[in-house]
């Protein structure tokens, strides 16, 4: 889904690099191909670039339909001052990339991000049972390794293959055909209600019986539709947890205001991560 944004009016957009990652693809799909992109070495660096005002926007992966939540992004959201102002869902189609002269028989190592390796587990077991698997910080880094070594293949996007002059030995090798990753768009600004919105919050609860029920009960009473709930250790106290919750609605909606009032009465701590248009 391209938002057909006027790229001339945009500032820079930070993404998890180097060039050729699915994060770059998500940024291009959200903002359009003409936007000025800044690659960052880590998800943490994307958040920092937004927080320090070095870029106007950042884009980070938050969950994959096959492998679940991206913990690094969730941990950054706990402490960050950046707000979520949009989302983009990208179809993940992995290709096996290698040097032009390399064949499958030449491949001794398979390099990729650990999530991508996991998403192609069945394919790799069947086709490369003895190949060494090399975990990289990104698929694009894997493509760089393949570019330098004829015995290494990378699992990455066709975009990465084009950027690093690699040949696709096989395409669409992911185990699940409907593999998709959801990305969050970050900024320091707020968004106005569009009429078709989602709100993301963090909820800290005490480690007591019924804590989750007390959090979820107001959603049911107010008729608010939950679209996602994830749990992570709070890192404040041992055995305390923080809930990442997405629900339909905007912070300016009356139902959402009533929700926050009810949660306050339940003596839980709420951090609003942002309200933004739903990705259709």
pLDDT in tens, 32-50: 878 899 999 999 999 999 9
Q: To which CATH superfamily is domain 95-171 assigned?
A: Periplasmic binding protein-like II (3.40.190.10)
Looking at the chain, the domain(s) classified CATH 3.30.70.260 span: 197-277
**Residues 190-220 pLDDT 10s:** 888 898 999 999 998 777 777 788 888 999 9
Task: Output the pTM of the full model.
Answer: 0.84
Between helix 43-51 and helix 71-79 the angle, nearest 10°, is 30
Looking at the chain, the domain(s) classified CATH 3.40.190.10 span: 9-92+179-187, 95-171
**Residues 96-133 pLDDT 10s:** 999 999 999 999 999 999 889 999 999 999 999 999 99
Catalytic residue set: 181, 183
Q: What is the CATH number of domain 197-277?
A: 3.30.70.260
9-92+179-187 is a CATH 3.40.190.10 domain = yes
233 φ/ψ angles, rounded to the nearest 5 degrees: -60, 140
What are 99's two structure tokens?
Answer: 């040097």
d(CA 40, CA 215): 36
Continuous H helices in 187-240: 211-222
pLDDT for 225 = 93
Beta bridge partner(s), residue 182: 63, 89
181 closest CA partner among 66, 55, 35: 66
């Amino acid at each position: 889904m391209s938002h057909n944004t006027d790229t001339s009016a945009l500032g820079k957009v930070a993404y998890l690099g180097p060039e050729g990652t699915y994060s770059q693809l998500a940024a291009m799909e959200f903002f359009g191909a003409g936007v000025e992109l800044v690659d960052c070495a880590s998800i943490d660096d994307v958040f920092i670039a937004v927080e320090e005002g070095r870029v106007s926007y950042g884009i980070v992966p938050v969950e994959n339909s096959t492998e679940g939540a991206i913990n690094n992004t969730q941990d950054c959201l706990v402490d960050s001052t950046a707000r979520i102002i949009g989302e983009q869902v990208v179809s993940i189609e992995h290709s096996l990339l290698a040097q032009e002269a390399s064949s499958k028989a030449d491949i001794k190592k398979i390099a990729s991000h650990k999530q991508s390796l996991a998403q192609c587990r069945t394919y790799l077991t069947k086709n490369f049972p003895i190949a060494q698997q090399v975990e990289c910080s990104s698929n694009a880094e894997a493509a760089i390794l393949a570019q330098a070594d004829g015995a290494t293949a990378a699992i990455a996007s066709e975009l990465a293959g084009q950027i690093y002059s690699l040949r696709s030995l096989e395409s669409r090798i992911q185990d699940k055909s409907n593999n998709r990753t959801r990305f969050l768009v970050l900024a320091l600004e707020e968004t106005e209600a569009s009429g078709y919105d989602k709100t993301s919050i963090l909820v800290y609860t005490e480690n007591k019986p019924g804590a989750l029920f007390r959090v979820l009960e107001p959603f049911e009473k107010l008729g608010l539709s939950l679209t996602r709930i994830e749990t992570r250790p709070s890192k404040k106290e041992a055995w305390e947890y923080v809930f990442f919750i997405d629900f339909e609605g905007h912070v300016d909606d009356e139902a959402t205001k009533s929700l926050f009032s009810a949660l306050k009465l339940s003596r839980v701590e709420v951090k609003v991560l942002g309200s933004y248009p739903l990705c259709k």
